[in-house]
Amino acid sequence: MPAKVYTHKEAKITPLKKKTLAVIGYGSQGHAHALNLKDSGLNVIIGLYKGSKSIRVAKRHGFEVFEVAEAVQKADVIMIGVPDMKQAEVYESEIKPNLSKGKTLLFTHGFAIHFGLIKPPRGVSVIMVAPKGPGHLVRSQFKEGKGVPALIAVLKGSSKDSKKVALSWAAGVGGARAGILETTFKEETETDLFGEQAVLCGGASALVQAGFETLVEAGYAPEMAYFECLHELKLIVDLMIESGIAGMRFSVSETAKYGDITRGPRVINANVKRSMKTVLKEIQSGKFAKDWIKEHQAGLPNYNKLLEEGEKHPIEVTGRSLRAVMPWIPKKNIKGAQASYS
């Protein structure tokens, strides 16, 4: 059954007009939510740890900044905008002791709630507002008068007005301009993790690297392999986003279409789909979450090792040299620019 799409007809910012909203963390999603809500006319404060480098930035953006505990005490709705693996620690030490009945906790991803890293007390409502895009896009689209679609969810046991609060927050960050869809913490978490692992990040990265390696090992120039397996991928994905897979096929040559529909299923075949099902089962059972928590607690040894190996892959060396001579591609130094508890 198709999900209902909410717009400005149902999503009004009125329920939040007289409330104080605290954004804990000023990273990728944190800064975007805070600025968009502020520009929507709502009262937003920022919660950061003492000595955070982001204090100066948040103040420059016109916010009152408090230490996390005080921000939680002052706020009616508290958004936890810190990374998944840091949320439980921040919650236990700074947020939980300062929660009181009637307050609302807001998450932008369901991981910590769905897998039990955070267990809110009775009397505290728990909602999710998850824009389907990175923070910089949520902010830039808002400034242009547009919006990024958003998901909302309400945890069982929350107050009866929690859905209105979630819709209001989603509208405040621009989601109602594009459409707001209702989901659950379980559905959002499991589908989000699967998409990242099997298709968007893991699947796409592995496919691109395997294609590059296949051409280079067959004696073709790495530059040619880069163009055909990575550079032109954006053109195809853009067509898919604009018109769907069928629309993309309409826009490419007959030769490309024929190769797509006859050879594509030989590469992404039943074996690949079986592997995808295994990945999904590991997410559903909690195995992935347990593995990720264990890796984080161990200091990320395998995580860092695999990332370093990826950075040394020949496709990265080839790509850096080619991008340097393509002036139309923005040059961004984004390494390490991840949202942090700041």
Catalytic residue among 31, 33, 109, 114: 109
| CA proximity to 133, closest of 207, 200, 222, 50 | 200
Residue-level pLDDT at 4: 82
Give alpha helix (H) positions in 252-286.
254-267, 270-285
Residue 331 confidence (pLDDT): 64
d(CA 201, CA 195): 8
Instruction: Check residue 254 and report its DSSP letter.
Output: H
pLDDT reading at 337 higher than 70: no
- The mean of the pLDDT values for the chain is 94
Percent of the chain whose predicted confidence (pLDDT) is above 90: 92
The predicted pLDDT at position 2 comes to 74
Which pairs count as long-range contacts for 280-288, CB under 8 Å and 24+ apart, including other chains? 280/190, 280/194, 280/198, 283/190, 283/193, 283/194, 283/197, 284/190, 286/115, 288/193, 288/197
Cα dist from 45 to 38, 58, 249, whole Å: 9, 9, 48
Per-residue pLDDT averaged across 24-31, rounded?
Answer: 94
The answer to whether 91 and 122 are in contact (CB under 8 A) is no
First vs last Cα of the chain: how many Å apart?
41
pLDDT of residue 341: 36
* Confidence label for 215 from pLDDT (cuts 50, 70 and 90): very high
Question: What interhelical angle do 185-194 and 270-285 show, nearest 10?
Answer: 140
Measured distance CA(248)–CA(260) in Å, rounded: 11
> What is the predicted pLDDT for the residue at 342?
40
Q: 118-152, pLDDT tens digit by residue?
A: 999 999 999 999 999 999 999 999 999 999 999 99
Q: How many Å apart are CA 216 and CA 82, to the nearest integer?
A: 41
Residue 336 clears pLDDT 50, i.e. is over it: no
Active site residue 296: no
